[in-house]
Structures are given as structure tokens and as C-alpha cells.
Amino acid sequence: MADMGGSISKILFTEEQIKNRIKEIGMQITEDYKGENLTVIGILKGAFIFAADLVRQIKLPVTVDFIAVSSYGSATQSSGEVKIIKDLDISVKDKNLLLVEDIVDTGLTLKYLLENLKSRGPAGIKTCVLLDKPQARKVEVPINYKGFTIDNVFVVGYGLDYDQKFRNLPYIACLKKEVVGKSRE
């Protein structure tokens, strides 16, 4: 696939690397929840591709729902203020939840969602993130399943965007600085 008009500076994880890692995570989740039902909650919009590929690798009865939050807008840095834009369609009371997120940098969004979902009375909540950016962390959050750890760089592709673009890239990459103007700090 083209690099979207010369916007990509470096590919961090190839389509094949992502596919292999998701298969491993799916096998681990299948083992950990053996004999149980699982409700997977994808965080929109960034995690939709990751969640779709992940649930196909989980060999258990799975219910899927999505929640949409906003903390970025069109910026490259989190505002720190999290707003629920689309809530869940199902009740999560007494259910095993797996919260699926594309990337954890500051941890503020994930912390907010974990607190919100815990207040709804689930049997338990675990988290699964494709990318972990620990250098950007402002609050600690539990990460039970992780795809990859990355440096404090701004990335796009495989669901992650910059100003609603680049989500369709099948790999994860860094944008050239002149495209972003300024990367997340």
C-alpha cells in the first residue's frame, strides 16, 4: 500500500507483525476465559479494526459492543477531558468485560472508562491495548493484554488516525513531522 502521499516517515509494525501478535493475544484470552462468556467492548473510533480482528481470534462465546469517547478532537495531544459520545447498547452487570483500546498514552481515557464501567456492576474488567506508550503516562492504568510497547511518538494506521485520516493503513507508522506539525508529548 502506498504511504498516503509521502506522509509516512517510518513503519513501526507491519501488517504481518500485527496479525501474528493479535493471534497470540486471542489465544491467551481464550485460555484465560475458558468456559466463560466474555463481553468485548471496543473503544471507538480507533480500536474498531483491532477489536474486529481480535474477536475473530477469541475462540469463546463473545458479545461485542462499542463505546465512543473523545479526548483529542483534531489535536495530537489529549485534552485530558474525556466525554462519552456513544454509550453501550447493552447492560454489563455481572458480565466479564474486556475493554479494547487502540493506544494508551496518558492513561486518562482508560482510567475514566474503567471507573465508569466498574460503577455498572460487571463481574470483572480486563483491558487489552494494541499499543502502550508508557513514557506519556500521566496516570497508571492496568493493562492485562498488550500488543506492543512504543516510544513517545505519534502513530497512525490500523485504526489510529490523524485528523480522521490514515485509519485504513494496514500497518502502524509514524507520520513525517511536517504532516503532523508537532507530535504528542
Domain count, the chain: 1
124 lies in some domain: yes
Per annotation, catalytic residue among 53, 94, 102, 105: 105
8 lies in some domain: no
What is the Cα–Cα distance from 123 to 166, expressed in whole angstroms? Answer: 36
Position 68, amino acid:
A
pLDDT for res 7 = 86
Whether 105 is catalytic is yes
166 lies in some domain: no
Nearest to 143 by CA among 181, 114, 170: 114
What's the predicted TM-score (pTM) here? 0.90
How confident is the prediction along the chain (185 residues), in pLDDT tens digits per residue?
455 568 899 999 999 999 999 999 999 999 999 999 999 999 999 999 999 999 999 999 999 999 999 875 545 555 567 889 999 999 999 999 999 999 999 999 999 999 999 999 999 999 999 999 999 999 999 999 999 999 999 899 999 999 889 999 999 999 887 777 643 33
pLDDT for res 1 = 47
pLDDT for res 35 = 94
Nearest to 46 by CA among 165, 167, 169: 167
Q: Which domain does 103 fall in, by range?
A: 16-155
What's the CATH number where 89 sits? Answer: 3.40.50.2020
20 lies in some domain: yes
Categorise residue 109: left if φ over 0, alpha if ψ from -120 to 50, beta otherwise. alpha
